[in-house]
């Protein structure tokens, strides 16, 4: 009985071992045939690597069948007309639009324009090489320069213009310091040409600048030509959805006089202003500055005798027009002219000389008073 039990146990052990050995062989084949989980018959003698074998299940190098998991019912159809190819085109919507072109754009109804001769607004460097007390250029100490900048900023704030036209500014750094100290403007430009120059500070944005360095007609000059003595500074300004063209002028001084040149400057300026009005009938066009001559003079007649222009201070008494005190007389040397267009008009009664006191004809550290006026659209 024990012998029989031993024999049966032995036969079973042989069978188990046989099954175990054939199992090991199947793992190898299954591994080689990646993706095919069928159990390989251990008795099958067919070479699994033979590609001609019709019983071959899956070539591991053939990716088509097992890797294709695309579900044909998935909504990846690209021909759907509702699938928007349009929104990917960003050029149209991102194009910057001028907000002033919108029907409900807020436009300003009026603007204040002023002019102010800053009086020899020099810095701390001797740029001409001639800076003695008898020379034109002076050199300021640190504290003198800081005082000058602060004083001019106070004066400019007192004038309270949206656009201020300046004269006698030496350098762009001077203008930048005044611009920063004043703190109420958004753009500025210096018409650099001579030792001291014309400039503009404005709210809004300057879109065009022209210093007018060109030759101008001068009947009384040698060769019949001359130039503006300082830049006849033209700037185009966008402010409150309005187009405003301003000119800052500083004609030839009567000290070391050259009346012919001053006359030529006035005639050339009038010509340029009328041309701009033709080209920009919808713009407000204003010229202001130190024209170094009085109402009724030959210089001023270039504008006063032409119906294209309006001298805004003409409605004031001669005393109230005065911006300068010269040898016992209060005289008007600083002027603002409107160039008549459909783009804007002078607000009657708004012209005002800004000065330190009624009996004074100057403002702050300058030897000139300022002039300002309001224009309506």
**Pairing relationship of beta strands 163-169 and 110-121 according to DSSP bridges:** parallel
- Min dist CB 214 to Ca ion, Å, is 27
SS3 content of the chain, % helix, strand, coil (to 5): 30, 25, 45
Using rule CB under 5 A, residue 135 touches Ca ion = no
- Min dist CB 160 to Ca ion, Å, is 29
Q: List, in order, residues 6 or more apart from 82 with CB less than 8 Å away.
A: none
- Min dist CB 170 to Ca ion, Å, is 5
Give residue number: closest CB to Ca ion: 127
Using rule CB under 5 A, residue 125 touches Ca ion = yes
Tell me how many helices (H) and strands (E) the chain has. 8, 17
When the beta carbons of 27 and 125 are compared against Ca ion, the nearer one is 125
- Min dist CB 177 to Ca ion, Å, is 13
Cα–Cα separations (whole angstroms), residue 275 to 246, 267, 281, 284: 14, 13, 10, 13
The window from 11-19, 127-135, 148-156, 361-369 that contacts Ca ion (CB under 5 A) reads 127-135
Using rule CB under 5 A, residue 41 touches Ca ion = no
The window from 30-38, 125-133, 180-188, 193-201 that contacts Ca ion (CB under 5 A) reads 125-133
Q: Is the distance from CB of 262 to CB of 249 less than 8 angstroms?
A: no
Distance CA(67)–CA(288), nearest Å, equals 82
Task: Please pick, from the candidates 62, 127, 214, 217, the single residue that binds Ca ion as defined by CB under 5 A.
Answer: 127
When the beta carbons of 196 and 218 are compared against Ca ion, the nearer one is 196
Using rule CB under 5 A, residue 168 touches Ca ion = no
Distance CA(361)–CA(358), nearest Å, equals 8
**What angle in degrees, to the nearest 10, is found between the helix axes of 172-182 and 142-159?**
60
Using rule CB under 5 A, residue 100 touches Ca ion = no
Distance CA(270)–CA(267), nearest Å, equals 5
The window from 84-92, 110-118, 122-130, 355-363 that contacts Ca ion (CB under 5 A) reads 122-130
The window from 69-77, 117-125, 145-153, 322-330 that contacts Ca ion (CB under 5 A) reads 117-125
- Min dist CB 144 to Ca ion, Å, is 12
Please give the span between the terminal C-alpha atoms of the chain, in angstroms, as a whole number: 128
Applying CB under 5 A, which residues contact Ca ion?
A: 122-123, 125, 127
């Amino acid at each position: 009985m024990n012998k029989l039990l031993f024999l049966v146990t032995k036969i079973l052990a042989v069978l188990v071992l046989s099954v175990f050995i054939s199992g090991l062989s199947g793992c190898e084949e299954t591994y080689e045939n990646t993706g095919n989980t069928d159990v390989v018959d251990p008795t099958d003698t067919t070479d699994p690597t033979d590609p001609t074998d019709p019983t071959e299940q899956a070539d591991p190098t053939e990716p088509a069948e097992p890797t294709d998991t695309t579900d044909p019912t998935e909504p990846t159809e690209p021909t759907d007309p509702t699938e928007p190819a349009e929104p990917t085109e960003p050029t149209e919507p991102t194009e910057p639009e001028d907000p002033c072109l919108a029907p409900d754009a807020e436009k300003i109804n009026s603007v204040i324009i002023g002019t102010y001769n800053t009086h020899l607004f020099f810095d701390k460097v001797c740029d001409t090489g001639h800076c003695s007390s008898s020379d034109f250029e002076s050199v300021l100490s640190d504290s003198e320069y800081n005082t000058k900048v602060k004083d001019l900023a106070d004066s400019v704030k007192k004038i309270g213009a949206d656009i201020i036209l300046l004269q006698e500014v030496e350098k762009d750094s001077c203008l930048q310091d005044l611009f920063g100290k004043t703190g109420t403007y958004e753009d500025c430009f210096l018409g650099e040409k001579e030792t001291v120059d014309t400039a503009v500070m404005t709210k809004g944005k300057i879109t065009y600048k022209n210093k007018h360095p060109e030759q101008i007609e001068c009947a009384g000059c040698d060769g019949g030509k001359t130039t503006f003595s300082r830049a006849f500074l033209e700037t185009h300004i966008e402010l409150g959805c309005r187009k405003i063209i301003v000119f800052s002028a500083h004609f030839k001084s009567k000290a070391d006089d050259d009346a012919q040149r001053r006359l030529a400057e006035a005639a050339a300026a009038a010509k340029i202003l009328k041309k701009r009005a033709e080209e920009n009938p919808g713009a407000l066009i204003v010229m202001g500055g130190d024209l170094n001559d009085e109402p009724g003079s030959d210089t001023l007649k270039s504008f006063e005798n032409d119906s294209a222009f309006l001298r805004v201070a003409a409605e004031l008494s001669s005393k109230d027009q005065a911006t300068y005190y010269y040898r016992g007389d209060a005289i008007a040397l600083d002027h603002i002219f409107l160039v008549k267009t459909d783009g804007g008009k002078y607000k009657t009664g708004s012209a005002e000389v800004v000065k330190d006191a009624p009996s004074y004809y100057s403002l702050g550290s300058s030897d000139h008073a300022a002039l300002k006026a309001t224009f309506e659209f």
